[in-house]
C-alpha cells in the first residue's frame, strides 16, 4: 500500500491512501503547494504546482513542457515577456533564462514534465528517422491550442498509469507530443563559437563548484572585468555570478537524485552551507532540497553518490 503525505491547515501530518498500481504515485511527495513525482523512465520528472510563488531568474538543464490548469502567470523567455493563462501549453529549453510570477489574485496552477537532455536527444533521434531535422528546440514559450493541451493531458494520464515494466503508452504519447511541439533550432549549436566567453563558459560548466574570481574569469576571456561581465550577460542572459549559482543548483539536483546527503552535496557544489543551497534551490525550483530528495528516494536513493561525468 502506498501513501501520499500532506500538511493540514493546523500543521498536522495526515495520510491519504494511494493506489499501489502506479509507480508515479508511489514516489509522490507533497508540500502544501508542490508535488514532485519520479517517473519510471530514467531522466524524466513531473511537477504539479498550485502556488503564488514568484520564481527569480533561473535556468534548467532539462527541457520542460507544461500546461497551465488554473489562473495565469507572466514570465520572461527567449522570446521576451510572455503571459500564459489556463489551457495554455508552456515550454522551456535547457539554459533558457526565465522567471515566473502570478497574474492576479489566487496564484496559478500548472503541471510540468521535465526531460533530461539525453532523454530528449534520444527522442529527437527517433523523430529524425521520420524526416524531422536532428537539431530541434521549443520555439514558442506559450501556445494556445486545445488539441495540444489534450495531448499533454493524455501524456500525463499515461505517465500516471505506467510502471517500470510497462511504458508503451508513456513512450508513445511523449513522441506524439514532441512531434507537435519541436521546431528546427533557430541558431547554430553555439552562438559563442571560438570566443573567449565560450571558453570560460565551458570551464565553469566543467567545474561549477570552483571558487572562480572575476579577475580570473576575465583574464581567461581576454577581456577587462567590466567587458567580461557585459559580454557574458549578453551571451547567456545571466551575469557570471548568477550563471555559476545556476550551474551549482543544477549539479546539486543531480547529486541529490543520485542519493547524496544534503550537507555533502552543499559542500561538493560550492555552497557556504546547506541553508545557502536551500535558499537558492527553493528560489529556482519552488521546493526544498529535502523535499526533492524524498521524492526521488524511491528510484535513486543510495548512501553514496557518484558525480555525473558531464558535471
List the chain pLDDT tens, one digit each, 311 residues.
233 333 333 333 333 333 344 444 444 444 447 887 767 778 888 999 999 989 988 999 999 999 999 999 999 887 789 999 999 999 999 989 999 999 988 899 999 999 999 999 888 888 876 566 667 899 899 999 999 999 999 999 888 887 777 788 888 899 999 989 998 887 554 444 458 999 999 999 999 999 999 999 999 999 989 899 999 998 898 999 999 999 999 999 999 989 999 999 999 999 999 999 999 999 888 889 998 898 887 544 333 333 333 33
- 163 with 261, same domain: the answer is no
Residues 6+ apart with CB under 8 A from 153: 67
Please say which residue of 134, 154, 184 terminates a domain: 184
**Per-residue confidence (pLDDT) for residue 42, from 0 to 100:** 80
**Per-residue confidence (pLDDT) for residue 114, from 0 to 100:** 94
First to last CA, the chain: 37
- 112 with 233, same domain: the answer is no
- 76 with 151, same domain: the answer is yes
**Per-residue confidence (pLDDT) for residue 194, from 0 to 100:** 52
Identify the burial level of 236 via C-beta atoms within 10 angstroms of its C-beta, where 0-12 means exposed, 13-18 middle and 19 or more buried.
Answer: buried
Q: Is residue 272 one of the residues assigned to a domain?
A: yes
Q: Is residue 25 one of the residues assigned to a domain?
A: no
DSSP state of 278: H
Name the pTM for this structure. 0.72
What are the backbone dihedrals phi and psi of residue 117, each rounded to the nearest 5 degrees, phi first?
-60, -40
- 58 with 178, same domain: the answer is yes
Instruction: Please state, in angstroms and rounded to a whole number, the distance separating the CA atoms of residues 122 and 50.
Output: 31
**Per-residue confidence (pLDDT) for residue 38, from 0 to 100:** 65
Please say which residue of 157, 184, 211 terminates a domain: 184
Number of domains within the chain = 2
- 60 with 158, same domain: the answer is yes
**Per-residue confidence (pLDDT) for residue 208, from 0 to 100:** 95
**Per-residue confidence (pLDDT) for residue 285, from 0 to 100:** 87
| Residues of the domain holding 217 | 196-300
- 98 with 150, same domain: the answer is yes
Q: Is residue 30 one of the residues assigned to a domain?
A: no
Residues 6+ apart with CB under 8 A from 219: none
Q: Is residue 10 one of the residues assigned to a domain?
A: no
Residues 56, 61, 67: CA angle, nearest 5 degrees: 65
CATH of the domain at 290: 1.10.10.60
- 58 with 179, same domain: the answer is yes
DSSP state of 215: H
The grid coordinates of residue 162 equal: 505506467
Residue 12: CB atoms within 10 A of its CB come to: 8
- 251 with 278, same domain: the answer is yes
Residues 52, 278, 111: CA angle, nearest 5 degrees: 40
**Per-residue confidence (pLDDT) for residue 188, from 0 to 100:** 52
One DSSP character per residue, 136-202 reads EE---SEE--HHHHHHHHHHHHHHHH-BTTB-HHHHHHHHHHHHHH-EE-SS-S-TTTTSHHHHHHH
Please say which residue of 131, 161, 184 terminates a domain: 184
- 147 with 233, same domain: the answer is no
Amino acid at each position: 500500500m502506498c501513501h501520499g503525505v500532506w500538511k493540514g491547515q493546523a500543521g498536522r501530518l495526515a495520510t491519504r491512501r494511494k493506489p499501489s498500481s502506479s509507480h508515479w504515485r508511489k514516489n509522490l511527495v507533497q508540500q502544501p503547494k508542490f508535488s514532485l513525482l519520479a517517473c519510471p523512465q530514467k531522466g524524466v520528472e513531473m511537477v504539479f504546482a498550485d502556488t503564488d510563488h514568484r520564481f527569480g531568474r533561473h535556468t534548467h538543464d532539462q527541457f520542460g513542457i507544461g500546461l497551465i490548469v488554473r489562473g495565469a502567470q507572466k514570465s520572461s523567455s527567449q522570446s521576451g515577456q510572455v503571459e500564459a493563462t489556463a489551457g495554455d501549453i508552456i515550454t522551456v529549453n535547457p539554459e533558457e533564462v526565465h522567471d515566473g510570477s502570478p497574474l492576479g489574485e489566487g496564484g496559478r496552477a500548472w503541471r510540468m514534465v521535465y526531460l533530461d537532455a539525453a532523454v530528449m536527444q534520444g527522442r529527437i533521434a527517433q523523430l529524425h528517422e521520420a524526416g524531422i531535422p536532428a537539431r530541434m528546440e521549443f520555439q514558442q514559450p506559450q501556445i494556445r491550442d486545445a488539441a495540444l493541451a489534450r495531448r499533454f493531458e493524455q501524456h500525463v494520464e499515461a505517465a500516471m498509469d505506467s510502471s517500470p515494466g510497462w511504458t508503451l503508452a508513456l513512450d508513445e504519447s511523449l513522441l506524439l507530443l514532441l512531434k507537435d511541439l519541436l521546431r528546427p533550432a533557430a541558431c547554430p549549436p553555439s552562438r559563442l563559437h571560438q570566443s573567449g566567453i565560450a571558453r570560460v563558459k565551458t570551464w565553469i560548466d566543467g567545474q561549477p563548484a570552483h571558487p572562480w574570481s572575476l579577475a580570473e574569469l576575465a583574464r581567461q576571456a581576454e577581456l577587462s572585468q567590466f567587458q567580461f561581465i557585459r559580454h557574458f550577460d549578453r551571451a547567456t542572459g545571466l551575469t557570471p555570478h548568477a550563471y555559476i549559482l545556476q550551474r551549482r543548483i543544477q549539479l546539486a539536483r543531480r547529486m541529490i537524485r543520485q542519493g547524496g546527503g544534503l550537507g555533502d552535496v552543499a559542500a561538493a557544489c560550492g555552497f557556504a552551507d546547506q541553508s545557502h543551497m536551500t535558499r537558492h534551490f527553493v528560489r529556482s525550483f519552488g521546493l526544498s532540497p529535502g523535499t526533492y530528495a524524498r521524492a526521488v528516494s524511491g528510484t535513486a536513493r543510495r548512501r553514496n553518490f557518484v558525480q555525473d561525468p558531464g558535471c
